[in-house]
Amino acid sequence: MDVAVIGLGLIGGSLAQALATGGHAVVGFDADPATRGTARTAAAQAPARARWQVAGRLRDAIAHAELVALAVPLPALPPVLTELTGYDGLVTDVTSVKGPIRELLRQQLPTAAYVGGHPMAGKETSGFAAADPDLFTGCAWVLCLEPRETALPDWLTLARLVTALGARVVPATSAEHDRAVAAASHVPHLLAAALTTAVAGDPLAAALAAGSFRDGTRVAATRPELIAAMCGGNATAVGTALDGVLKTLAELRAALDEPDPATALRPLLAPASAARAAWPVATGTAVEVPWHADALLELGRAGGWVTGVDDERRVLRAVRPETVGGRP
Amino acid sequence: MDVAVIGLGLIGGSLAQALATGGHAVVGFDADPATRGTARTAAAQAPARARWQVAGRLRDAIAHAELVALAVPLPALPPVLTELTGYDGLVTDVTSVKGPIRELLRQQLPTAAYVGGHPMAGKETSGFAAADPDLFTGCAWVLCLEPRETALPDWLTLARLVTALGARVVPATSAEHDRAVAAASHVPHLLAAALTTAVAGDPLAAALAAGSFRDGTRVAATRPELIAAMCGGNATAVGTALDGVLKTLAELRAALDEPDPATALRPLLAPASAARAAWPVATGTAVEVPWHADALLELGRAGGWVTGVDDERRVLRAVRPETVGGRP
């Protein structure tokens, strides 16, 4: 496929490299001239069969594109969409929130066919220098499917492309996606920031902090504007998920005031311990799912994922987990 | 030194192996016959110069001990102290809370000289099978120093022993220790449990959970009775530290309700991002600290640590960090 990747940071850079390695004709673009220079050097030095191009202007990058993959941060998206005016091919993105992007596309680029995407891959480092064509191997990659809106053939095109990168394609509506990542990905960043704040003001505590602090706060080192854009762009769902966490923390806080706090804490902690020990769900039953939005969305809600598209038999190869919600 | 290690789980087993490797005469004991069997086999198979013994009874383990290291969980401590009745040598421990242990020792074993200890090392696995003589290399190890209570020569004996294992000795009062670990180590376990609870009930969220969830919840898989004993045994300090975290989370929650949540979140997140990027404090200025409790406690409060004891010059070799509280 002819693919344009707009934005060559960690995700965009990794995606361009992975797609080029997979045999696609990739043209990348980044608004930052220095990033373009670095990417152009790397693209030219890739093995011959994984070589790709970096265009000097966005218009040139999309000139022959059948698919435009938007890999710019949420706040940078509106001006990019303005530059895409008139483009009528397939568009996907990799942004960590899906509802607002879907709305933006509907308003600013109604000519294009949009299938929202979100690879659940990242690092606390960012930028093209951190790009890695293997970043997506084994990761969950949401492809949004809106009943009575997304054209299934477009969704299948993306599913073929993304499963070929080694990712697990998870079908979900944008609303389902935004609720799920609020709890699974956005709230953890806020907890990490709050925990760092508690320890950073006390040199003795910072000196004694070890594994539980190191891991619990790793993502707090992410650039604050990225965390703010991510959580702020999904504020309603993040607020609801954070309320859920705060409710649990209030129960734990109350247990600490009991006459025998250890005994009061134990039953509150036991289900989380069992659930965490059972996570991640690495295996499940291999199933075939018909080419139908409802069946695909049901698979996603059950925690399942698509591993491939069987064009001959018109089914999707998929895995349905044997456990539910991380609980055996 | 003749050292008895009582309790041969992860920490006790590692300590027995590390001390034996360091040339000390070690006798271990565990109340569980199966653990004693496993430990005895491992002790006998160690290289000749790192061989140690496992006694069949606690009395036999401490018969010749100059130092008894208590490595049993907090709830198991009172009966062990009863068995130690009459012992008048040096006692240390490795429990994650220091105030209650100090009180227990004062009541149950007033004949012994007690220097509370806490190596900030651990894994989410436990038991002798997970023991590792290198577990303490580079880790912070609190040795408690109570003004007008701890005999400095006893503290120095422990400091020599522990720095020789490659650990950083952090001087602190038991109250200072308990406040610091509440924030740095106990609260992270409660946050991890609350985050796991939020995600475990939603199979889609569990399927999308990636690095930020994995790291933020790693310690939630710890056995719930261990987390409960740890937090419950330090309930007052943990409650205060958790209140601090909840205050920050309430500010973040309010920012999510602002008309422009991303802009409201950014200044709340920026200090934590800078602090986490500057942590851990790996270096500092090499200093010498006089053999005096106040000077040692001041070093600990500043986030510094002791690396060795210079017996000839009667000073402690130490490192004082150049940054404060993880902030450059």
Contact (Cβ atoms closer than 8 angstroms) between residue B230 and residue B178: no
For residue A305, give the nearest of B207, B228, B241 by CB distance.
B207
Is pLDDT at A125 greater than 80 in this prediction?
A: no
How remote is the C-alpha of B97 from its chain's centroid?
Answer: 8
pLDDT of residue A281: 84
CB atoms within 10 A of CB A103: 11
* β-strand pairing of A140-144 with A117-119: antiparallel
* Residues of chain A contacting residue B206, judged by C-beta atoms under 8 Å apart: 184, 279-281, 303, 325-326
A276 vs B contacts (CB less than 8 Å): 192, 196, 200, 217-218, 220-221
Question: Rounded to an integer, what is the distance from CA B288 to the centroid of its chain?
Answer: 24
Reported confidence tier of residue A282, pLDDT bands at 50, 70, 90: confident
| Strands B168-172 vs B90-93: parallel, antiparallel or unpaired | unpaired
pTM: 0.86
pLDDT for residue A328: 34
pLDDT recorded at residue B75: 84
Residue A323 pLDDT class (50, 70, 90 cuts): low
Question: In A15-53, which positions are buried (b, 16+ CB within 10 angstroms) versus exposed (e)?
Answer: bbbbbbbbebbbbbbbeeeebbebbbebbeeeeeebebb
Q: For A1-10, what is the mean pLDDT?
A: 97
Tens-of-pLDDT digits for all 328 residues of chain B? 999 999 999 999 999 999 999 999 999 999 999 999 999 999 999 999 999 999 999 999 999 999 999 999 888 999 999 999 999 999 999 998 999 999 999 999 999 999 999 999 876 578 999 999 999 999 999 999 999 999 999 999 999 999 999 999 999 999 999 999 999 999 999 999 999 999 998 999 999 999 999 999 999 999 999 999 999 999 999 999 999 999 999 999 999 999 999 999 999 999 999 999 999 987 899 999 999 999 999 999 999 999 999 999 999 999 999 754 444 3
Residue A276 pLDDT level (bands cut at 50, 70, 90): very high
Q: How confident is the model at residue A123 (pLDDT cuts 50, 70, 90)?
A: low
User: How many Å lie between the alpha carbon of A128 and the closest alpha carbon of chain B?
Assistant: 19
pLDDT of A124 higher than 60: no
Model ipTM value = 0.92
Nearest 5°: phi and psi at B172? -160, 155
The alpha carbon of residue B90 and the mean position of all alpha carbons in its chain are separated, in whole angstroms, by: 19
Domains of chain A are 2-136 (3.40.50.720), 178-257 (1.10.3660.10), 284-321 (no CATH)
Q: Using CB atoms, pick whichever of A200, A228, A242 lies closest to residue B269.
A: A228
Mean pLDDT of A135-142: 95
* The predicted structure's pLDDT at residue B110: 96
Token couple for B314 = 């009667």
Q: Which of chain A's residues have a Cβ under 8 Å away from the Cβ of B262?
A: 75, 228-229, 231-233
